Structure 1
Amino acid sequence: MLARLVLTNLRNHTDLALTPGAGFVVLTGPNGAGKTNILEAVSLLAPGRGLRRASLSEVARADGPGGFGIAATLGAEAVEIATGTLAAAPERRVVRVNGATTTANALAEWLSILWLTPAMDRLFVEPASERRRFLDRLTLALSPAHAGETTRYDAAMRARNKLLADDLPDRDWLAALEVQMAQHGATVDAARRDTVSALSERLASQPPSDFPRAGLTLDGWSGDADALLHSLREGRIRDAAAGRTLIGPHRVDLIVTHLDKTSLAALASTGEQKALLLGIVLAHADLVGERRGNAPILLLDEVAAHLDPARRASLFERLARRGQIWMTGTEPALFDAIGADATRITLG
């Protein structure tokens, strides 16, 4: 959990300090008060570009000095984590743990953070890349090394694509890049499939509830490093003509079904899709808690506004005692069913 959070020149927050509790953290206020900006700041304490996927320069306050800072104290261990940018280098992220400079990927060793935002309501009908990104966040929470593996795979793939565009590519360098892709790609694939298998088993075993059960499968390439290396070598001419690599874990799609209706989630109603997504995140939070010994921090942006009172109360009941859950809404009344056991912060 976060015991303290300090934001400096981030979005609309010039200098904001919060001391959230261990359970529900409820942020309320009018639109534009900066509720989602706080969730974005928490999401940037994990590898990646945060819940908005914004450039770092966009995160800095528009009329500020140019950089921004996020500082957090973690739980009883009092681990100090800080990240942000300097005005002189607005797109260069700086990360420190207990004062020592490290990489953004190293943050996964300290925190597991998952989020749901209104923009994700169409996840099941968006391009496959959005579902892969979602799956990678689920996987990262279970396997902190996953961020580094995907980063190295993507870097090697970009270098290979660029090399294949040359009329006379360096064949030794090409072979070395393909070895890197094969090694990291097989590891990425194995971690994703472990996540899907464990999560699917948990979802299928759950009794009926207000949140429908989702079935999860992966569609696309799967195999070991040798198989991927062979495919890459055999596909050089094809990939050069296409201008991109056409086989590998970067082409996989996460297929989600509504188990109780035996139909694709993409064909479900908007309300059902949101409920399916919530069900996946809740089951995954339990899985992370079991495997890592600590529940992930959940960031739920405007999630209560689109649920009826009964399903809202059911959601709060399922979330109780699952670690730190940050929630936003315009009206405090949306969170009455939580009771007194919450940190309530009013903005604006």
Structure 2
Amino acid sequence: MALAKITLHDFRNHAASELRETAQFNLLVGENGAGKTNVLEALSLLAPGRGLRRASAETLARNNAGEDEPRGFAVGASLVEQGQVSARLGTYTLPDRPTRRLVRINGADASASALSEWLALAWLTPAMDGLFTDSAGARRRFVDRMALAIEPGHARAVARLETALRERNRLLEERGDARWLDAIEMQAAQHGSDVARVRGQLIARLVDELSALPSEPFARPLLTYRPGGPGDEDGLRAELARSRGRDRAAGRALTGPHRDELEVHMAHADGSRGQPAAASSTGEQKAMLIAITLAHTAIAAAGRPSVLLLDEVAAHLDPVRREALFARLRAGRAQVWLTGTEMAPFAAIADEAAVWRVSGGTLERV
């Protein structure tokens, strides 16, 4: 078990919701718009970043009609390991600072990046179904989110790389002092090499994990990491220095980890590369995305408490794939949270799951 005694205060449409006596499988059942995904989003904020909807902090607090005063929100949970509470995690905003999300761990102020040192979080939502046809940037964000499972400091390295590249772009545009450019490119190369290393390690581990899985009933994807430039610090620093004129004309850096790409292909029965995921059917893309998520969850659960959030996944699978999904999740170490509009798709796990009926932002234990 990973999370227990979860509380939501003034979050989305939840005024005051609490979930106790959680299990490995946790089901949130209710009509569309009842607030099921809001619970998953709240849990996703117990990790660095902007959560599964990538929403800005000021949009998360509950807003009552007719209220002019700003309102903050709070999400908290106990982290349980081997039956004992090992940590208390929380995140919140204040009414007078609604745009700044704050974090507390064991009652003390902490950085958002520190959350990943305690808990590995992953999710799969309907909005992610278009990942393979989306931009390379969307796939980089997907990789970076997964990378936190093997390197909690990865989010910090990504943020520092982006900051260094923005400063370099500014200096190039203003034709700043070459010594300042040398210094900022040194920072970009240092953080960039860290980012590239962790991404490469993650993809390699996913490839190994996926190769051990049967190709049925889920499609087995083949993953390839395509670096956007030299992966070592010295090579990246030298390339940035060589490309200043080109980058000044382009208005951006054309070399570096910010140009990385994750290529995904279907695997044939013999393991050879098939068609690109972007050209596959919607069902095949969904199956590959589930396979990647399961492989990542297995990696994440090997390091620290792991939580997997699955929004409206079971209803879109046929009975064979649904049973296979539950079997894999049951055999894993992650705590799983699932949403659905009815109980029927969850019949195979209903007896072992903690179930809540969700309606209008309220929760009722079934």
The alignment's TM-score, normalised by the length of structure 2, stands at: 0.91
In the other structure, the counterpart of 2:313 is 303
Deviation digits for residues 168-213 of structure 1 (CA, Å, limit 9, x no counterpart): 4133222211111100100110111011111112212323321111
Does residue 4 in structure 1 map to residue 11 in structure 2? no
Deviation digits for residues 221-248 of structure 1 (CA, Å, limit 9, x no counterpart): 2420001001111111211111111110
In the other structure, the counterpart of 2:203 is 196
The answer on whether the counterparts of 1:21 and 1:324 sit within 8 Å (CA) in structure 2 is: no
Does residue 324 in structure 1 map to residue 335 in structure 2? yes
Counterpart among 309, 320, 323 of residue 313 in structure 1? 323
- Equivalent runs, 1:5-154 vs 2, <5 Å: 5-63=6-64, 65-75=70-80, 76-154=84-162
The one-letter code of the counterpart of 2:73 is: F
Q: Residues of 1 paired with 2:204 and 2:32: CA distance? A: 39
Counterpart among 154, 165, 183 of residue 157 in structure 1? 165
Deviates more, 1:12-21 or 1:109-118: 12-21
Q: Residues of 1 paired with 2:30 and 2:278: CA distance? A: 33
The one-letter code of the counterpart of 1:279 is: A
RMSD of aligned residue pairs (Cα, Å): 1.4
Q: Residues of 1 paired with 2:173 and 2:99: CA distance? A: 28
In the other structure, the counterpart of 1:266 is 278
Deviates more, 1:157-166 or 1:264-273: 157-166
Q: Residues of 1 paired with 2:207 and 2:263: CA distance? A: 11
In the other structure, the counterpart of 2:354 is 343
Does residue 207 in structure 1 map to residue 214 in structure 2? yes
Unaligned ranges ≥5, structure 2? 360-366
The answer on whether the counterparts of 2:90 and 2:103 sit within 8 Å (CA) in structure 1 is: yes
Over 3 Å counting, the alpha-carbon distance change for 1:55 and 1:98 in structure 2 is: same
Does residue 245 in structure 1 map to residue 225 in structure 2? no
Q: Residues of 2 paired with 1:14 and 1:240: CA distance? A: 50
SS state at 1:138 partner: helix
The alignment's TM-score, normalised by the length of structure 1, stands at: 0.96
Q: Residues of 2 paired with 1:70 and 1:208: CA distance? A: 39
Deviation at 1:164, TM superposition (A): 1.7
The answer on whether the counterparts of 1:115 and 1:300 sit within 8 Å (CA) in structure 2 is: yes
Q: Residues of 2 paired with 1:299 and 1:207: CA distance? A: 23
Deviation at 1:296, TM superposition (A): 2.1
The one-letter code of the counterpart of 2:72 is: G
The one-letter code of the counterpart of 1:338 is: I
The answer on whether the counterparts of 2:143 and 2:199 sit within 8 Å (CA) in structure 1 is: yes
The one-letter code of the counterpart of 1:267 is: A
Deviation at 1:289, TM superposition (A): 2.5
The answer on whether the counterparts of 1:23 and 1:321 sit within 8 Å (CA) in structure 2 is: no
Q: Residues of 1 paired with 2:236 and 2:43: CA distance? A: 36
Does residue 334 in structure 1 map to residue 345 in structure 2? yes
The one-letter code of the counterpart of 2:342 is: E
The answer on whether the counterparts of 1:67 and 1:84 sit within 8 Å (CA) in structure 2 is: yes
Deviation at 1:138, TM superposition (A): 1.2
Q: Percent identity?
A: 49
Q: Residues of 2 paired with 1:324 and 1:245: CA distance? A: 41
Q: Residues of 2 paired with 1:205 and 1:254: CA distance? A: 20
The one-letter code of the counterpart of 1:287 is: I
Deviation at 1:288, TM superposition (A): 2.2
The one-letter code of the counterpart of 2:250 is: A
The answer on whether the counterparts of 2:192 and 2:231 sit within 8 Å (CA) in structure 1 is: no
The answer on whether the counterparts of 2:118 and 2:305 sit within 8 Å (CA) in structure 1 is: no
Counterpart among 158, 169, 172 of residue 176 in structure 2? 169
Deviation at 1:77, TM superposition (A): 3.0
The one-letter code of the counterpart of 2:148 is: L
SS state at 1:207 partner: coil
Deviation at 1:316, TM superposition (A): 0.8
Deviation at 1:127, TM superposition (A): 0.5
Deviation at 1:20, TM superposition (A): 4.6
Unaligned ranges ≥5, structure 1? none
The one-letter code of the counterpart of 1:135 is: V
In the other structure, the counterpart of 1:229 is 237
The one-letter code of the counterpart of 1:151 is: A
